[in-house]
Amino acid sequence: MLFKGTNSYSMNSCETIEMFYNLRTDLDKLTAASNITKIIVDVTTENQNSYKVLQLFLNTLYTISETEKNIDLINSIFKFRLLSIIGFRPNIKECTNCKRTDNLSYFSFRDNGFKCETCGKLDKGAIQMLPETKDAISYSILCPAKKLFSFTVPDQTIKELTIISKIYLNEKLERDYK
């Protein structure tokens, strides 16, 4: 129950709808939920419509709490989706340099998106990725909200997603999230 004051709201009472109980029974889950919460706090401001961010936040907490899905994968999907919602959607349609649409096998942080093999090799900071990694990034950005955590990928892809999403998040938000 919120009451609007002159400069801010004050909270009078509250009632829990969903506790995400399993977060407190597993240290890895708790750590992941805590890290995600820190990021959410940093990207939202009071009185700003954050419906999509809230929806993503709740979906992510639910998936961490109620499923045994790989936590690094959940984290990576969350980061790509969040960055896309708040205005840092990478260019995943074509090579950010030469505009060709096939053989996209690098992720460029300098140019915010995919690069073909030829252009990717010339971009020192770009990271080479497997076709599955490219597809997982695209899916994380484009799929309907309810299907966000519905896929799994091989371990090597999770490794690449973890590295790319971490660097991209830290660069865009100018932070150093662990």
Report the interface residues with Zn ion, using CB under 5 A: 95, 97-98, 116, 119
Residue with tokens 């300098």: 110
CB 46 within 8 A of CB 36: no
CB of 101 to Zn ion, least distance (A): 10
Q: Which is nearer to Zn ion, 97 or 140 (CB)?
A: 97
CB of 96 to Zn ion, least distance (A): 8
Sheet bearing 127-128, strands edge to edge: 113-116, 104-108, 127-128
CB of 122 to Zn ion, least distance (A): 9
- Environment class of 137 (CB within 10 Å of its CB; exposed 0-12, middle 13-18, buried 19+): buried
Q: Which is nearer to Zn ion, 63 or 97 (CB)?
A: 97
Q: Which is nearer to Zn ion, 66 or 117 (CB)?
A: 117
Q: Which is nearer to Zn ion, 63 or 96 (CB)?
A: 96
Q: Which long-range contacts (CB under 8 A, 24 or more apart) does 153-156 make?
A: 153/73, 156/130
Cα 36 to Cα 51: distance, rounded to the nearest angstrom: 16
CB of 112 to Zn ion, least distance (A): 14
